[in-house]
Amino acid sequence: MTRTDTSRSKSPLSDQEYTPVVPSRGTLIPLSAHDVTLDGGFWGERQVVNANATLQHCLTWMEQLGWIGNFDRVAKGETGPPAGREFADSEIYKLLEALAWESTRSGGGWADEAFQALSARVVAAQQPDGYLNTRFGGPNQQPRYTDLEWGHELYCAGHLLQAAVARARDVPDDPLVAAAIRLADHICDVFGQDGRHSVCGHPEVELALVELARATGNPRYLHQATLFVQRRGRGTLDGGETPAEYFQDDVAVRDAKVLRGHAVRALYLSAGAVDVAVENGDDDLLNAVRDQWENTVAARTYLTGGMGSRHEGESFGDDFELPSDRAYSETCAGVASVMLSWRLLLAGGESKYADLIERTLFNVVATSPDSDGTSFFYVNPLQRNQAGIEAALDEPSPRASSSQRAPWFEVSCCPTNVARTLASLGGYIATKDIDGLQIHQYINGHIETLLPDGERIELTMETGYPFAGEVAVTFKSESTREWTLSLRVPSWARGRATVDDGSGARLIDGDVATVRRAFSTGMTVRLSLPIEPRFTYPDPRIDALRDCVAVERGPLVLCAESIDLPGGHHVRDLAVYSGGGFNSKGSDLTTVSGATGCGGAEGWPYASHTEDGVRLVGQLEVPLSPYFGWGERGPSEMRVWLPIARP
Amino acid sequence: MTRTDTSRSKSPLSDQEYTPVVPSRGTLIPLSAHDVTLDGGFWGERQVVNANATLQHCLTWMEQLGWIGNFDRVAKGETGPPAGREFADSEIYKLLEALAWESTRSGGGWADEAFQALSARVVAAQQPDGYLNTRFGGPNQQPRYTDLEWGHELYCAGHLLQAAVARARDVPDDPLVAAAIRLADHICDVFGQDGRHSVCGHPEVELALVELARATGNPRYLHQATLFVQRRGRGTLDGGETPAEYFQDDVAVRDAKVLRGHAVRALYLSAGAVDVAVENGDDDLLNAVRDQWENTVAARTYLTGGMGSRHEGESFGDDFELPSDRAYSETCAGVASVMLSWRLLLAGGESKYADLIERTLFNVVATSPDSDGTSFFYVNPLQRNQAGIEAALDEPSPRASSSQRAPWFEVSCCPTNVARTLASLGGYIATKDIDGLQIHQYINGHIETLLPDGERIELTMETGYPFAGEVAVTFKSESTREWTLSLRVPSWARGRATVDDGSGARLIDGDVATVRRAFSTGMTVRLSLPIEPRFTYPDPRIDALRDCVAVERGPLVLCAESIDLPGGHHVRDLAVYSGGGFNSKGSDLTTVSGATGCGGAEGWPYASHTEDGVRLVGQLEVPLSPYFGWGERGPSEMRVWLPIARP
């Protein structure tokens, strides 16, 4: 896409776009989530499940575990150890953010009532000076800001600010908005230029402060966010045995070459750094984050888009350290990666960011919740050698359990993160600029928006994507002038995608299919993406994947599950012939020719002859299904990358 | 070897074999370390470096860091936070154990003086009721035994007991022995049958109590060790987010199928369980540990013998989870593995245990210290993709730093563990039974011992092993009867080793070469082991090693180091032709034909064509050298497993 920097004047609170990120400058302008309606299809269905099941599910669990009650106790001046972990407050805030988005999306109703009731309990716990945290600063509690490394106070505050910003863009005079402003002012007082020169162990407040600055027009919050980003990487945090890299406190953001350390921290920080860079016109900082994104995607990202190779420190690994079985690929890192890529997409307009968003949404964010929206994966490995056991239904599960989705976790950041993402998903579908509309993600639904000059666009989008490759965009409005409709062509589709605006199908080599004209009501533009299954080979530098192949189909990564294998075979014993073709059964089942083996000598796993190795003993068609749905049918072994069988 | 269970009466303190483990029953009888003298050669040289450099090095660091001073402060009744970590006391105890062994080995001198001076400071800190720990129970300290999960009190106590047992077997009336007995009595009082039913988060006291029972003849300590082993696996420890498996508190020792959780903990516990089983005649328990050893060696052990696949929790991984770059393979786990295998060897006599001891000694224990004996690897990965930087010389390094050996660590368990192992190494070389002598490890040195019936044996062993395969055993004594000399044939040598007692070389298919006769002074038995380089292939179930090959030479694992590669090549870009032969240059440099490649597309590490993969661009002879010496010549990349090049 063209990259032109459009500077836009800051919006006052009463004139906000209602969408997750509202930069005052950048190449692309986000659409308001009001402007995009999802109607069924892959994402529309998930948004409804989120509204009807997940939000109440989160509310029920956090009430039951006393995490919400922590606020009531602080409001009453009661003391005692709070329920849950040191970041429990943030889960209530992320749920509030999700409720704010859902309330606006669905036009009020239960979500609005739930938001108001829950936020009232939060606001009641705020201290007169604006401080708000249920674990620190009260009688018999540890004093405020005495454990910046692990206390998560500013992290929690950041999530409150994000919830308030989501609300403010639709309901500016909400009490939570006022509370957030008081909290942000307090943070600026304590940590400002003349205050304490430190940062929070877990980044998050940075992007939240910028968003609050955008929402309120108050530059003080942007300045504070700038300070926090500048201070990071100066070794101000003392993690003991935990290396500074874990907190991204090892290298200044603008000097770093690649994302490293705790993945969610690194991605939230990067998103905040982009926000700071965009608002300050700091192209050096922006380009530094772009380079880090490039290097991270090139060598530290799973095929699913997942990030975080290590359970240890929930962290990125070294370059090309991408084991399948030990992949951490936290759901929250997927959410955070979408947040970062979206900001970079708005800033510069490059399709590669939307490509990664699509990959991550379909293969990480959509993988976490089950189809009922009431149990979740926290980590998203690409292989499970044991089927594992059912997760506990009546108590929180350990966070890194991964054989089965669990209703709730002791550290339960992922369910509420999925909830806020799905509730605000309309904001990530398309953008606009003076020249027209850019559609980045393919959904079933409706878009109605005004270009900057007032040109009105209304259209519907119909597709069976990702299970079918046809996307039909039909106009419901008459153009008063020519403009450009841009349709993203995913990297795997380039050279094979076609677009047809009625004048015949045209092959698209580049990363967007564009149609420039005045569009009339009833006119349809058809995009055709080749979604047949395809083999994908790993970079030879990835030790964990050597001599393996994966199968992708459109934007979906496929996997083999033991539950689909005949004869009690284990996924560990599978191999596939990568030279052959595929058979498809129905819309979402693919098979590939393969073999089963029985591998290895007994007693010692290293031998002097390769013939002590795997012996292929049976031919079979290996059934493959979308990774996002794995584990839905009970405990199962699973693997994405399959060893290549030699005929 | 034949497996006959010889029950021996318990020895009183004054009549001890001077050797690390003295079971009262079992197939093989350990030789006294007095009976075995190492004289130069691979291990003899290391024992001298240990005596001349490592022991003083450890003493200096622990004095400087105040870890020894902790005892002085407690002795004076002073309070305040102790120096070092919660297990610092144990490092002093392991050094005391090393000094005790070295004092006896070298006949007193500096090591004896150092032992006496250091142990006096320890004993002075003991409380009147026998309790001894510098971190708990004093004024302004946390009360005793209030943090069994993480406090390491019984772990530290165990190491004190081990030091005292080492001393007691040579100097029974030493004050440290009396202190250990007081401490053990205190532990029995607190944790006995009618006491507190719990265990220490870190096993170690179990094996120490059995050894103290053996050394003193007091069955109370064996009974207490039995209780501790029985209680393990009952979920008595609360690790919070740390799973019970970490502490081996998930499954009872006799019910477990494989080693799991924290590797050092699992191995110490298993060693203690063998001691308990042997003393109690509990064959079910003994067989349970044997099965766990089998399953662990078959699927959870590195080619080096190293154990522990995960940095997270310093733990064993799942079966076949054996990544090279992220291998933890802690030096202490190597030491602990030797301790476990030695006990199983004594119990049943099977050569496989001595095989693993040899592999682990040469490739883990010998790898840790540099040739000066003053810097150490804590973790022993099989691959390093970055050369890394020099370790700090003037401050402790983080424990898991692995690119360079470090003089000392914040958690510095490994240097003292290496020290006590090298100082007592004579005890692990050979055993005896009524029928003769079994030589398990090949050294340069001298053995003089009495068989149970008083038959005297004296012999010298000469070898260039592991760099040469010839071992000459020459008798210095006249037999009064026929007896059997057994020489272990390592698994890789079977079918190719020969033995010659003067009547001509005889090919050996089995796991021992035996010569049965009356031996005369001057008679030489020659064992010849085929130590030419050989290719070794991984089990196909090990994802991390697919399509790779390693080279071994005798008992040594070889590796490629970037420092040896021409033209600035990286080890990541190497591939080797596994069909070809080897060239040897000198005694310890091997080369293999290979190629260098440049791998991978830019931007995204997954491609639709394999030809986007590695491109072999240059042929070269890849130099390989013994893994134990890697990193000795400065920062270097390193890898053991090399991708197979296709012609």
DSSP class of A534: E
Tell me which of B432 and A33 has the higher pLDDT: B432
Chain B: nearest CA to A179, how far in angstroms?
A: 33
Question: Tell me: the pLDDT tens digits for A467-509?
Answer: 999 999 999 999 999 999 999 999 999 999 999 999 999 999 9
Give just the sign of the alpha carbon dihedral B567, B573, B577, B583.
positive
Residues of chain B found within 8 Å of residue A535, distances taken between Cβ atoms = 608
**Which residue in A has a C-alpha nearest to residue B295's C-alpha?**
A603
Question: What average pLDDT score do residues B525-547 get?
Answer: 95
Residue B388: predicted pLDDT: 83
CB contact at 8 A, A438 and A28: yes
Q: Return mean pLDDT, chain B.
A: 93
Chain A: nearest CA to B381, how far in angstroms?
A: 14
Q: Would the pLDDT of A381 be above 90?
A: yes
CB contact at 8 A, B464 and B588: no
CB contact under 8 A, A613 and B399: no
Confidence band of A586 (pLDDT split at 50, 70, 90) = low
Question: What average pLDDT score do residues A596-622 get?
Answer: 76
d(CA A429, CA B59): 65
Question: Tell me: the pLDDT tens digits for A210-247?
Answer: 999 999 999 999 999 999 999 999 999 999 989 999 99
d(CA A217, CA A226): 15
Task: Choose among A537, A603, A613: nearest Cβ to B609.
Answer: A537
Spell out the residues 6+ positions from residue A216 whose beta carbon is closer than 8 angstroms to its own. A13, A168, A181
CB contact at 8 A, B393 and B407: yes
Confidence band of B5 (pLDDT split at 50, 70, 90) = very low
Please state the φ and ψ torsions of residue A7, each to the nearest 5 degrees.
-85, 130
Residue B611: predicted pLDDT: 55
Both tokens of B503, joined, read 């009547």
**Reduced DSSP (H G I as helix, E B as strand, rest coil) percent helix, strand, coil of chain A, to 5:** 40, 20, 40
Q: Return mean pLDDT, chain A.
A: 93
CB contact at 8 A, A41 and A47: no
Residue A584: predicted pLDDT: 74
Residue B589: predicted pLDDT: 80
Question: Tell me: the pLDDT tens digits for A294-321?
Answer: 999 999 999 999 999 999 999 999 999 9
Is some CB atom of chain B closer than 8 A to the CB atom of A197? no
CB contact under 8 A, A318 and B385: yes
Residues of chain A found within 8 Å of residue B322, distances taken between Cβ atoms = 605
One-letter identity of residue B22: V
Question: Tell me: the pLDDT tens digits for B331-354?
Answer: 999 999 999 999 999 999 999 999
Question: What average pLDDT score do residues A332-353 get?
Answer: 98
Of chain A, the percentage scoring pLDDT greater than 90 comes to 84
Instruction: Measure the N-to-C terminal CA separation of chain A; round to a whole number of Å.
Output: 45
Is some CB atom of chain B closer than 8 A to the CB atom of A254? no
Both tokens of A559, joined, read 């996997």
Confidence band of B386 (pLDDT split at 50, 70, 90) = very high
Confidence band of B402 (pLDDT split at 50, 70, 90) = low
Instruction: Measure the N-to-C terminal CA separation of chain B; round to a whole number of Å.
Output: 45
Question: Smallest Cα–Cα separation from A553: which of A588, A581, A526?
Answer: A588
Question: Smallest Cα–Cα separation from B86: which of B159, B151, B157, B139?
Answer: B151
Q: Would the pLDDT of A10 be above 50?
A: no
Q: Would the pLDDT of A390 be above 60?
A: yes
Q: Can you list the alpha helix ranges (DSSP code H) found in B107-241?
A: 109-124, 153-168, 175-191, 205-216, 219-231
| A459 strand-pairing partners | A447, A475
Q: Can you list the alpha helix ranges (DSSP code H) found in B50-174?
A: 55-64, 69-75, 88-106, 109-124, 153-168
Size of interface A-B (CB pairs under 8 A): 167
Per the listing, tokens 């058979």 go with A583
CB contact at 8 A, B600 and B614: yes
Question: Smallest Cα–Cα separation from A67: which of A396, A313, A424, A420?
Answer: A396
CB contact under 8 A, A540 and B323: no
Per the listing, tokens 């009641």 go with A124
Residue A619: predicted pLDDT: 87
Spell out the residues 6+ positions from residue A486 whose beta carbon is closer than 8 angstroms to its own. A1, A436, A437, A438, A439, A512, A513, A514
Spell out the residues 6+ positions from residue B352 whose beta carbon is closer than 8 angstroms to its own. A603, B297, B491, B511
Domain boundaries, chain B: 430-528, 533-643
Question: Tell me: the pLDDT tens digits for B440-453?
Answer: 999 999 999 999 99
Chain A segment 297-326 residues within 8 A of B by beta carbon are 297-299, 301, 303, 310-312, 317-326
Alpha carbons within 13 angstroms on the beta-carbon side of residue A85 total 16
CB contact at 8 A, B642 and B631: no
**Which residue in A has a C-alpha nearest to residue B610's C-alpha?**
A537
Question: Tell me: the pLDDT tens digits for A365-376?
Answer: 999 999 999 999
CB contact at 8 A, B207 and B275: yes
One-letter identity of residue B562: S
Chain B: nearest CA to A299, how far in angstroms?
A: 6
Cα B577–B578–B581 angle (5° rounding)?
A: 90
- ipTM confidence score: 0.92
- The C-alpha torsion from B426 through B427 and B430 to B434, rounded to 10°, is 140
Task: Choose among B323, B601, B610: nearest Cβ to A323.
Answer: B323
Q: Read out DSSP for B2-45?
A: ----EE-PPPPGGG---SS---SEESSEEPPGGGEEE-SHHHHH
Spell out the residues 6+ positions from residue A263 whose beta carbon is closer than 8 angstroms to its own. A307, A308, A314, A315, A316, A328, A330, A333, A336
β-strands B483-488, B436-439: how paired? parallel
Question: Tell me: the pLDDT tens digits for B546-596?
Answer: 999 999 999 999 999 999 998 888 999 899 998 778 887 666 689 999 988
Question: Tell me: the pLDDT tens digits for B359-370?
Answer: 999 999 999 999
Q: Can you list the alpha helix ranges (DSSP code H) found in A50-87?
A: 55-64, 69-75
Q: Would the pLDDT of A16 be above 70?
A: no
Is some CB atom of chain A closer than 8 A to the CB atom of B10? no
Is some CB atom of chain A closer than 8 A to the CB atom of B606? yes
Residues of chain A found within 8 Å of residue B320, distances taken between Cβ atoms = 385, 572, 605
Q: Would the pLDDT of B325 be above 50?
A: yes
CB contact under 8 A, A604 and B538: no
Residue A40 backbone class (left: φ over 0; alpha: ψ -120 to 50; beta: rest): left
Q: What is the pTM of this model?
A: 0.94
CB contact at 8 A, A66 and A45: no
Question: Tell me: the pLDDT tens digits for B37-70?
Answer: 999 999 999 999 999 999 999 999 999 999 999 9
Please state the φ and ψ torsions of residue A70, each to the nearest 5 degrees.
-55, -40
d(CA A376, CA B491): 48
Exposed, middle or buried: residue B454 (CB in 10 Å: 0-12, 13-18, 19+)?
exposed
Task: Indicate the fold that domain B430-528 takes in CATH.
Answer: Immunoglobulin-like (2.60.40)
